[in-house]
């Protein structure tokens, strides 16, 4: 057999994505290139690795065993590379971080200098909602997570980064001759929510419940970007993290509407399981955070002070 490491990496991704299209997008390849490599790998086995039912691709039981073996091989190759760098006196390894969706506006700035300095360190960052972030941490699938609310059921250590403030936001086309009353804002105007499991969704529901607001019409969207576009288009209003609407405020595409009791204020924190044995790369990253976080905040997030109440 003459299958290559590249083919094994590609098939491992197919087994996780269950889609040629998604695999191509993830690996930044064309769909034909993925299909050709899958065929070349399949040609070396007499038992099918995948099957197509209807228009959906499935990985066979045999294929899943090959994918599991491929994962072990790739991990061993990574270990060899990391050891080589270690012997050369360079920090090496892999850091896995799960980030609550609006944290994508924060986390890259706290990573860039560290990653540029340590070329032997690989980064895997998954951006998803709060529920999935905590699930990945509970299963010990990641080194760190970025959250705005500490989990109650997990024993974690944390490093505080910066404030996360949520404001009531409307489109710029809305001309308010006078600020609507609280009742008018929440009972007469459509309110746009994030999906279930989102920390922003939870914060909005806690706020409206606390004030006993009866929402007239609720719209649910599954990403912060989708909410922004909907609010800009005049579809409704929302309570949104300030960190995610910098450019829209600057370009006057969105406006903050003053509401008593807002902003909701939490703190972005990097957390990790108290019981976790951190790798040298992960330990070095924590030290970097503690030393450099204030400098990073001053360099990249000083604009927030303009809006803080």
Q: Is the pLDDT confidence value at 1 over 90?
A: no
Say how far apart CA 123 and CA 119 lie, in whole Å. Answer: 10
Q: 284: how many CB neighbours lie within 10 A of its CB?
A: 18
Asked whether the beta carbons of 12 and 71 are under 8 A apart, the reply is yes
What average pLDDT does this structure show over 22-36?
Answer: 88
CA 59 to chain CA mean position, Å = 27
As a whole number, mean pLDDT of residues 258-265 equals: 86
- Domains in the chain with CATH codes: 5-84 (1.10.10.10), 91-162+267-306 (3.40.190.10), 164-266 (3.40.190.10)
Residue 298 scores a pLDDT above 90: yes
What is the number of residues in the chain? 309
Residue 190: the pLDDT is: 84
pLDDT at site 211 = 79
The overall average pLDDT reported for the chain is 87
Residue 174 φ then ψ, to 5°: -80, 120
Tell me which of 173-177, 219-223, 261-265, 305-309 is least confident.
173-177
Rounded to whole angstroms, the Cα distance separating 251 from 228 reads 13
What pTM does this model have? 0.68
Stretch among 78-82, 124-128, 157-161 having the lowest mean pLDDT: 78-82
What residues contact 268, with CB distance under 8 A and at least 6 apart?
103, 106, 146, 147, 148, 160, 161, 162, 163, 164
For range 256-261, the mean pLDDT: 85
pLDDT above 70: residue 3: yes
Is pLDDT of 261 > 70? yes
Instruction: Specify the DSSP class assigned to residue 196.
Output: T
Asked if residue 81 has pLDDT above 80, the reply is: no
Instruction: Tell me the pLDDT tens digit for each residue of 271-283.
Output: 999 999 888 889 8
Of the pLDDT bands very low, low, confident and very high (cuts 50, 70, 90), residue 42 is: very high
């Amino acid at each position: 057999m003459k299958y290559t490491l590249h083919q094994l990496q590609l098939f491992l991704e197919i087994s996780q994505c269950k889609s040629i299209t998604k695999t191509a997008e993830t690996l930044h390849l064309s769909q034909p290139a993925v299909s050709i490599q899958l065929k070349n790998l399949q040609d070396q086995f007499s038992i099918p690795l995948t099957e197509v039912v209807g228009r959906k691709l499935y990985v066979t039981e045999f294929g899943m065993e090959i994918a599991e073996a491929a994962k072990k091989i790739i991990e061993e190759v990574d270990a060899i590379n990391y050891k080589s760098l270690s012997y050369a006196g360079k920090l090496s390894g892999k850091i896995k971080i799960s980030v609550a969706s609006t944290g994508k506006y924060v986390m890259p700035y706290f990573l860039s200098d560290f990653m540029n300095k340590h070329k032997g360190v690989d980064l895997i960052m998954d951006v998803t909602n709060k529920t999935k972030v905590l699930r990945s941490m509970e299963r010990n699938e990641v080194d760190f997570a970025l959250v705005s609310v500490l989990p109650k059921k997990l024993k974690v250590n944390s490093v505080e980064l910066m404030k996360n403030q949520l404001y009531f936001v409307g489109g710029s086309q809305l001309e308010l001759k006078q600020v609507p009353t609280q009742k008018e804002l929440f009972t007469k105007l459509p309110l746009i929510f994030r999906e279930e499991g989102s920390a922003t969704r939870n914060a909005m529901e806690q706020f409206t419940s606390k004030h006993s607001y009866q929402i007239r019409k609720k719209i649910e969207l599954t990403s912060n970007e989708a909410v922004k576009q909907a609010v800009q288009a005049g579809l409704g209003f929302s309570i949104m993290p300030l960190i995610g609407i910098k450019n829209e405020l600057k370009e006057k595409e969105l406006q903050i509407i003053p509401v008593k009791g807002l902003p909701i204020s939490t703190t972005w924190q990097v957390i990790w399981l108290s019981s976790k044995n951190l790798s040298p790369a992960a330990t070095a990253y924590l030290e970097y955070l503690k030393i450099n976080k204030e400098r990073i905040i001053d360099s990249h997030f000083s604009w927030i002070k303009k809006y803080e109440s």
